Amino acid sequence: MTDNINIKLLPLIFIFNPITAMAWDPPDRVSLEEIQQTTSNVMTMPKITVTETEDIFRIEAVGMEWDIGVRVYEPNDQNKIPVGPDGKKRGIFLIHGGTGDWRSLDQAARLASKRFGYKVVSMTFPGRLNLDDPSRNWPRDTFNDDGNHRTPHWLKGEVITPDQYEVVMDKGDATTGVPARYGTSIFLAAKEGTTFYKRMGGWPVAFEEGMKTAIARHFPTSSYNVYAHGHSTGGPFVHYMSQRVDNVKGIVGYGTAMFGYINNAAGSAFEYPFNYLRLRTWRDTARYADEGWTDKDYSLPQKMEMVFAAWDRAKLQPNFKAEDFIHKNSVESLANGARATAERMGMDDEETQTLVERYVGYTRELSGPGVKPLPPVLHINGIGDKTVTYDRYTSYGKKMYQAMDPAPRTHAILFGAGVHSWNFKDDNIPHGIAPAVINMWDAAIREGYFD
């Protein structure tokens, strides 16, 4: 770097100094000006030639087969991949959030690989890939007048038909956990005995086994250390996964939710039966659009037009969700899903209880003798994020991490730009938040935050 750089930018571009030997501490805050300067630096870095491939593999979990899809970004020149002091390569494992798929993290994955050289594996939640279309775009709307509503593709060739579910319209109730500000929430309630019901009881284990298998296929323990990111709802999944996979060395965050029981500390309950699949509609687009309108003076008709236009684009992605039960600590629903699965599999009382404990265990850290401690966690929050906020970490999340035994190293950074979505751009950040976030991840990895 040049010698005349402003000292206040060092926390973000420290990575460009390869000879630092002192312990590195992340900043508490990063200003908009620092983000803009760092973005400029990142976007002018030489591009690395990268190959992108899709890997769809089949696993077995709880007596059923499941198709899992990942997107892999890998430098053609393996010498470009960062290597740690132990001689192992460094890889990044991503899972998205909400009701999307790998595409919501595509820009971040490409930046991490093309500018910084990481091999990146981006996994889609089980059931979220449209396995019938090579583009992975979903047809029609999520909720349709003919009763054929959108349902997951957990296995290629398997169809969840309308006779397997009932439609539940929920106006919002504080006792159940979907606020009235969401508008009407739409659920598909799987009927007992159907394939849909069995899938809704079994997906938590398929999710765990899918992550483990994806990492084993692409990041062998003998040659890779892995840094995992889960956006929003994906956060609790990489939290629990990080203790179950030996070579996951840390959690890198942006808008990353914590363990389910920590998220629940704010009262974000989700008390629905385990067989309820939530469909997103234009209402959810309207809810998130508010984040980008705080300083805009749009009329109601303008807002409505923008919401419907945005939904026309968004509905190409999955827009259904089962994962809130882990995200929001719905332990009773998870336990009931485990019991239904155990009954289907003919388990005895002891086996059933073990499965119940496995499901409920997804909502919090593991502890006790012989258990891998939770590795270090680095949270980053956009200042405009109203969904996973910086305040959640500072007001109670930090204390709850510290109460773990052993307590992991954790830190949160408030960025002076950005909303909940990775893909938000405006005049202040025309390249979005991703360049500055990935730069900070790289600094933390290279400078030993996770060691």
Mean pLDDT of the chain: 91
In angstroms, rounded to a whole number, what is the distance separating the alpha carbons of residues 170 and 228? 35
CATH class for the domain made up of 7-446: alpha beta
What pLDDT is recorded for position 60?
Answer: 98
Q: Would you place residue 185 in the very low, low, confident or very high pLDDT band (cuts 50, 70, 90)? A: confident
For residues 54-78, give the mean pLDDT: 98
Query: Side chain identity at 388, as an amino acid letter?
Result: V
For residues 177-206, give the mean pLDDT: 90
For residues 359-367, give the mean pLDDT: 98
Q: Would you place residue 209 in the very low, low, confident or very high pLDDT band (cuts 50, 70, 90)? A: very high
What pLDDT is recorded for position 295?
Answer: 59
Of the chain, the percentage scoring pLDDT greater than 70 comes to: 90
Residue 5 has pLDDT above 90, yes or no: no
pLDDT digits (tens, 9 = 90+) for 290-337: 655 655 677 878 888 888 888 888 899 999 999 999 999 999 999 999
What pLDDT is recorded for position 115?
Answer: 98
What pLDDT is recorded for position 292?
Answer: 58
pLDDT digits (tens, 9 = 90+) for 430-449: 999 999 999 999 999 999 99
In angstroms, rounded to a whole number, what is the distance separating the alpha carbons of residues 237 and 123? 12
In angstroms, rounded to a whole number, what is the distance separating the alpha carbons of residues 361 and 19? 42
Are the C-beta atoms of 378 and 414 separated by less than 8 Å?
no
Which of 78-82, 159-163, 179-183, 228-232 is the least confident region? 179-183
Residue 14 has pLDDT above 60, yes or no: no
The beta-strand segments (E) located in 160-271 are 165-170, 185-190, 224-230, 248-252
What pLDDT is recorded for position 306?
Answer: 85
Continuous segment of H or E residues that includes residue 205: helix 195-218
Are the C-beta atoms of 182 and 287 separated by less than 8 Å?
yes
Domain residue ranges in the chain: 7-446
DSSP letters spanning 80-131? GS-B-TTS-EEEEEEE--TT--GGGGHHHHHHHHHTT--EEEEEPPTT-S-T
What pLDDT is recorded for position 2?
Answer: 33
What pLDDT is recorded for position 294?
Answer: 57
pLDDT digits (tens, 9 = 90+) for 327-360: 999 999 999 999 999 999 999 999 999 999 999 9
Of the chain, the percentage scoring pLDDT greater than 90 comes to: 81
Q: Is the pTM of this model over 0.75?
A: yes
Gyration radius of the chain's alpha carbons: 22
Which of 35-44, 79-88, 253-262, 280-289 is the least confident region? 280-289
In angstroms, rounded to a whole number, what is the distance separating the alpha carbons of residues 233 and 294? 24
What pLDDT is recorded for position 173?
Answer: 63
pLDDT digits (tens, 9 = 90+) for 210-226: 999 999 999 999 999 99
How many CA atoms does the CB half-sphere of 327 hold within 13 Å? 20
Residue 419 has pLDDT above 80, yes or no: yes
For residues 413-433, give the mean pLDDT: 96
For residues 55-74, give the mean pLDDT: 98
CA dihedral 67, 76, 105, 439 (to 10 degrees): 140
What pLDDT is recorded for position 180?
Answer: 66
For residues 16-28, give the mean pLDDT: 63
